[in-house]
Structure 1
Amino acid sequence: SKRKYRLEKPTEYFKFIPEFLDPGSNDKIYLNGYWQNEKYFKDIRDILLNELILRPESSLLETDIIKKTREMDCIAVHFRRGDDQLNKSKYGVPTLEYYNKALKAIIESGVKNPHVIIFTNDPDWVKENFKPSVSHEYAVDLSLTDFQELALMSYCKHHIVANSTFSWWGAWLGNAEDKIIIAPNRWLRSSDYDTSGIYSEGWIKM
């Protein structure tokens, strides 16, 4: 049968368009886009969680940092510094004020045993500028793969995300019942995009 091709326009990256999930009479469909709205896959969340968890044989499961996620109220904090730095007019970068304010809000919510795990591709800059008042460590010091970092992020109880799909997934895959997730109130600096669909229910915009 003839293949159907559907292209998601840049201005639709964060929107949910139900028609994209209906192949119609075609049994083959090629989708091209970002699909950055949980409504596309929320109904298969349990399947995704099962597919993306660390397997029992994973060496990461036996590390001290994973044990901390079980014993402490770990807070994943993600700093994205890279392409967003080069294209600030489009992406923008969450400020240090955002991170400090978000961390303060989580700690003051009643977290009893906070421990911050920082994820970043620019640890030198973050170590120089971000000074958490509670115990903390850097995921980069553990020499993890990208998937292991994502898994570790999802094991944390609370999340302070950057305007990044990496930390978005880390937070969304987190399974803590009373988790707190804080995200930048402006996902992109450019006003050409309606980013309201990027936020999951219960997330706090700051």
Structure 2
Amino acid sequence: MWKLKEIGKIVKDKRYTIYSPLDGQPCADHDRATGEGVQPQEYTIIKMEEVAPFPAKLGVLEGRKVFLAAATLRPETMRGQTNAWVLPEGKVPEKPTCLVDLTGYDLIGLPLKSPLALNQIIYALPMLTILTDKGTGIVTSVPSDAPDDLMALRDLKLKPAFRSKCDVRDEWVMPFDIIPIIDIPEFGDKAA
């Protein structure tokens, strides 16, 4: 944060607030028709570097360093990543500058290097329950500790028709198993 302040990106002290995309401005607690008492939620953004070769849709970015930015509420679990999730028909946000118009389908199968992950390469895979209006619309997957991730990965492994429908290759899914990272008394190291 100090670095941002030094280069002039932060001009005042921080004050977390709720932002209304509908109105395009911050809104105080009593300004909201619903959600009074709701506080901002803190996400950690994980920069995952895209690995060449780029798919055709991302060809215009060839030769550049390209990152997917995944949002997580649990950065301590990043060592257990097996993949990243995208909503197949979800639009990738166009702000602040749109270099390429993409949907989640365009990202499926994208090989990624993610910091702290034990796997050298993980892949972007389809998950149908992602909300594109929360975080970045890209979600890291830690099936050892997140039940939704466990079930979505299991569905991809057990349902070849679903893999086929989303053009998911077996090698993007089948070799990836749960990576135990947190041991919870009474639940073990695969709590999900």
TM over 0.5: no
Between the two structures, name the one with larger relative contact order (CA 8 Å, sep ≥ 6): 1
| Higher helix residue share | 1
Normalising by structure 1, we get a TM-score of: 0.24
